[in-house]
Structure 1
Amino acid sequence: MSRIVKNPCKGKQARPWRAEFTQGSGSHRMRICRVFDSKREAQGWLAETVATHARNQYFSRDMLLADYLKVWFALFKKGVAPATKATYTATRKHVQNYLPTLTLADLSRVVIQGYFNALGRNHSIETLRKDLVHLRTALADAVADGVIPHNPTQRIRLVANTKHTRGKDKKIMTKAQYQAVRDRLMNQELSTKQIPLIVLAVICQTGLRVGEALALREDDVDVSQRLLRVDESFDTCTRDLRPTKTANAVRDIPMTSQLVTMLTSWQKMHDEWLAKRGIANPKRLLFLMGNGELPRATSVNYYYHQLQKKLGFETFFSTHTLRHFLVSQMIQNPSITLTYVSRFLGHSSEAITQQYYLGLIPDEIEGQRSQVANVIAEI
């Protein structure tokens, strides 16, 4: 029986936790033991060992789909970012809740379609899409390994309850809304008491992801070239600086003269404030707070919602809508190529940019409609 117990060995060098993996019986019994500094490390090692050695279970068609997803993730998705891991865990939990007794042998396109129909009653279309991608990838491996004869996730139609899905009017703000947010942020009085507002100012002028903005260091601000270097991201889950989402996300972003002026003033104020409080900043982080930590992404979003409330917005947007708006404007400018827009965003390919950002913003639709009518009339 595999288990995790307190390490019976004593002494300064002894580690407090012991994990024991056991398989088989009698002369065929296999036992592997390891010691660890924490229970979490022991649990991680044991889960991986069980997944690696349980070949009979892994290749069994009688295995529950939820169990298969757990083993598959442990084997093939080791080392992914915590935020990504959370999405896979969410998919497995959905399967456990909606298909608790479904085995790999019982899989069919009808069953999978029914699953997504049921899931769509309580979840957004974005959640459905993530679940479908995860299931499709995991079951493609099951086909390749000979566990199941075909992948039942092909030709699945996703329909979500509209109340759980954000419409386009909630994803892309109007010009007037963006300008109101920008003017308030760029004309604010700099204050070390409201660091998330400085972060928002950077996002509204650069379209950075929140994690990318939070990870900025003083050396990333190139005043002479008016460029902002992006080569890290702050993971709120682990509170660590990590590499960017993809290799393409390492990039230089052009800054407006107003943003350069703001960041120059902010850097001086920030350095003096930290020094006065005796707070070390060895990584020269641009947005280090008084407690020696960076703000959480949720805190930045909270400040953004409060700002919109003060501006009288009926719909509260997420910080990502600032990114959406800027890109919508770039795409409509004929002098800016889609290739550059893709690089500006840090996307891994132009196809991703085309998929998400080729829509028009709401307050320009009427003008486009008139132009289209005129073109048709002149044919």
Structure 2
Amino acid sequence: MSSIKKLNKSGPKAASYKACFTLGSGARRVRRSKLVKTKREAQSWLAEQSLKYPNMNTVWRRSLRFEDYYKLWFKMERANVVEPATADTYSVTLSHLKPFFKKGIGQITNMQVQSVFNALGKTLSHATLLKDLSHLRMMCRAAIRKGDLSYNPCEDIDLGGNNARIKPYEKKFMAVSDLRIIQDFLLKYSYEFTDINRLVIFICTQTAMRCGEALALRVDDIDCKARTIRVDQSYDSAHSRLKVPKTPTSNRLIPISSECANVLDGWIVQHQKWLQDAKISNSKGLIFLNKRGQLPTAKNINSSFHQLQKRLDINPIYTVHSLRSTLASLMVEQGVPVTYVAKALGHAPGSNVTLKYYIDVLPSAVQADREQAVKVISSTGESGTSGRSS
């Protein structure tokens, strides 16, 4: 029988509790123990041990607070199968939910979950609520499988969301005239070793690549003669690591203009010389290593992009990802098939991601449509109609 014993020890590093785990009897009996500082730690450890033995009673897991159960579930079922960046989203979900769920998961009701998401919807976007609910629902389904819950309280939840948290249309899509100003400036710019951030932005303006994909480019990925760029990895700047793309379709070959190829050809030669002079090792052949032998972060790139917009008298409201959305819409507007655009962006065939998030009417087209609508409305009485009013 498992138990928790309180110890009479003092001192800042002294353990206050001893968790004792026991399963079976006789020669097959399993006995384990652990010294911890708090009763919550002891409960969590016993709950973790119980998950390792299918026939173990669920009492220790059911006694856990929501926060501890969530952490245990993530550790046992999700931590080893998700990328670090994805793991961060689970932590964010917990930070949103733990102020509301103070007791054990067995006491969570459907009405309570709905009430919690109603409250969260006042400050969080619909997309964030959807992700939080997805994580909570997965945890509850796992709890049902383990016998810790009899039903899933996360089903049939209506989600709202704060529309103010959604990126405004004006920030997502750049005016084509502004895009051309930026492209022209970066194409004619003379790049130095300190201009790595600007060159990353230049690549994004020419390819619609993700910022992380551009940062991960190597010398071997650039074929200036064939005028192509190969994408087969990405840089996760939040965790300072190169990683393979989330989906196989992100591995792709992107065509570039001869002007873009010339800029990259010159940069690669000069960059290698700069690294050699600075005695910086570059065993992976990365083309955007800086003077510290590191890759810049996505945050650095966006900061440089905002500075560039100010320099060019453009309202600094756009992120580097806005370039991707704008270029995707521009390609479709100019007659490039959506299927090709999806492939160029690295989206899966048949996916709605391209149409849902990246394709929209560009600002110039919106203005033209507005003017046409006003013209039609204002000239209604002049178009040969009977002129009768109702």
- SS at 2:352's partner residue? helix
CA contact (8 A) 1:330 1:341 kept: yes
Residue 387 (structure 2) aligns with: none
Residue 322 (structure 2) aligns with: 321
Residue 128 (structure 1) aligns with: 129
Residue 209 (structure 2) aligns with: 208
1:235–1:137 CA distance, 2 compared to 1 (3 A) = same
1:227–1:105 CA distance, 2 compared to 1 (3 A) = same
- SS at 1:24's partner residue? strand
Residue 95 (structure 2) aligns with: 93
Residue 223 (structure 1) aligns with: 224
Residue 40 (structure 1) aligns with: none
CA contact (8 A) 2:191 2:267 kept: yes
Structure showing greater radius of gyration is 2
Matches within 5 A, 1:130-145: 130-145=131-146
Output the TM-score relative to the length of structure 1: 0.80
Deviation at residue 142 of structure 1 after TM alignment: 3.8
For residues 185 and 113 of structure 2, what CA distance do their matches in structure 1 show?
A: 48
Structure 1 residues without counterparts, runs of 5 or longer = 3-19, 34-45
Deviation at residue 313 of structure 1 after TM alignment: 3.4
Q: Which moved more, 1:148-157 or 1:282-291?
A: 148-157
Deviation at residue 192 of structure 1 after TM alignment: 0.6
Residue 114 (structure 2) aligns with: 113
- Give CA deviations for 1:98-121 in whole Å, capped at 9, x if unaligned: 32336334220x322221221122
Deviation at residue 250 of structure 1 after TM alignment: 0.8
For residues 354 and 316 of structure 1, what CA distance do their matches in structure 2 show?
A: 23
Q: Which moved more, 1:48-57 or 1:117-126?
A: 48-57
Residue 242 (structure 1) aligns with: 243
Count of residues in Structure 1 that have an aligned counterpart in Structure 2: 347
Deviation at residue 308 of structure 1 after TM alignment: 1.7
**In the alignment, structure 1 residue 71 sits paired with structure 2 residue 69:** no
Residue 287 (structure 1) aligns with: 288
Q: Which moved more, 1:318-327 or 1:163-172?
A: 163-172
Matches within 5 A, 1:1-379: 23-24=21-22, 30-31=31-32, 50=49, 52-53=51-52, 56-57=57-58, 63-79=64-80, 80-101=82-103, 103-108=105-110, 110-145=111-146, 147-334=148-335, 336-349=336-349, 350-368=351-369
Deviation at residue 204 of structure 1 after TM alignment: 1.3
RMSD: 3.3
2:91 aligned partner, one-letter code: T
Structure 2 residues without counterparts, runs of 5 or longer = 5-17, 35-44, 384-390
Deviation at residue 200 of structure 1 after TM alignment: 0.7
CA contact (8 A) 2:326 2:358 kept: no
Deviation at residue 348 of structure 1 after TM alignment: 3.0
State the percentage of identical aligned residues.
33
- SS at 2:254's partner residue? strand
For residues 59 and 228 of structure 2, what CA distance do their matches in structure 1 show?
A: 51
CA contact (8 A) 1:48 1:74 kept: no
- SS at 2:235's partner residue? strand
- Give CA deviations for 1:29-60 in whole Å, capped at 9, x if unaligned: 52289xxxxxxxxxxxx899658438644995
Output the TM-score relative to the length of structure 2: 0.78
Deviation at residue 271 of structure 1 after TM alignment: 1.0
Deviation at residue 85 of structure 1 after TM alignment: 0.7
For residues 332 and 192 of structure 1, what CA distance do their matches in structure 2 show?
A: 37
For residues 201 and 133 of structure 1, what CA distance do their matches in structure 2 show?
A: 37
- Give CA deviations for 1:7-49 in whole Å, capped at 9, x if unaligned: xxxxxxxxxxxxx99523896552289xxxxxxxxxxxx8996
- Give CA deviations for 1:149-200 in whole Å, capped at 9, x if unaligned: 5444344333333443321222222212222222222222111112111111
For residues 368 and 196 of structure 1, what CA distance do their matches in structure 2 show?
A: 37
1:64–1:353 CA distance, 2 compared to 1 (3 A) = farther
For residues 151 and 296 of structure 1, what CA distance do their matches in structure 2 show?
A: 40
1:214–1:113 CA distance, 2 compared to 1 (3 A) = same
For residues 20 and 260 of structure 2, what CA distance do their matches in structure 1 show?
A: 60
1:47–1:303 CA distance, 2 compared to 1 (3 A) = farther
- SS at 1:98's partner residue? coil
1:67–1:292 CA distance, 2 compared to 1 (3 A) = same
For residues 47 and 241 of structure 1, what CA distance do their matches in structure 2 show?
A: 37
- SS at 2:98's partner residue? helix
1:181 aligned partner, one-letter code: I
For residues 49 and 185 of structure 2, what CA distance do their matches in structure 1 show?
A: 55
